[in-house]
Structure 1
Amino acid sequence: MKVMFDSSVIVAALVVSHQSHSACVQRLNQALQQNIQGVISTHSLAEIYSVMTRLPIQPKISPQLAQKQLTANLKNFEFVPLLVEDYQAAIAQMVSLNIPGGGIFDALIAQAALKANVDQLLTLNPKHFTRLNETIANLVQVPQ
């Protein structure tokens, strides 16, 4: 089974104090143990790094620790890079739905999920994805 991990799931899995840590770390461990094929958009790497290094937690997560966590925990993942055509498709979808702003980042993750032909898209923000189209909505799962 191929499972696209949204950045929200990876962050929750790596931050022990996160309210969804248990459910998310369980799914991350499935990918680490190769019981499922973990998939992630290359765009999400930057997003996870950004979120982890600015979380209002103590102690703060240093840039070095964030990089170390990403390297160690995503080593068995399939990385899906997006091309210009993928960005254009995501933007066109946002325009057709009249969704402005930051929703484009979710559309990019959805585009990567389609490109990788995944079976599931794991996220803690299902509404961000279910609004995009029926194909994506059918892939969305919330770790429990």
Structure 2
Amino acid sequence: MKIKFKKKRLYIHLVLGLIWIGLAILRIWEEGNAGWMDYGFLLVGTLYLGHFLYDSYHQYIVIKNEIVRKNMLYGFETKMVLDEITSVQNTSGYYILKTKTKTKSLKIDLALVEVESLIRLKSFLENLKLQQDHGNC
């Protein structure tokens, strides 16, 4: 199951990337040659476009094969095995999943989650919590 980013977040990265690349092209076209700032604009625009593509493909949270994985650009991802989750806290716009060892936690920002995915996530976490409650009794 994929928990998707809000489309607004994705499109903001797309628009910012296109604006930065557009500024670089405009500056190069007006001046006739590329300076270091123009290359900087191209780099920033390319990074924003890359961020858009990465987030569009991988999305925010993936729950698959008994593993919860939070995808983040530049290789920073957090993985957690479902069986190791002991508590789910809902605090001020975040879900915080904690493990038995309490050294590992996964923080899910609800403001980044698409509405339909948020409903599925809440349902999934409620069922997970119910299963744990029954298992501990």
Q: TM-score range by the shorter chain?
A: under 0.3
TM-score, structure 2 normalization:
0.26
Higher relative contact order (CA 8 A, sep 6+): 1
The structure with more radius of gyration: 2
Greater share of strand: 2
TM-score, structure 1 normalization:
0.26
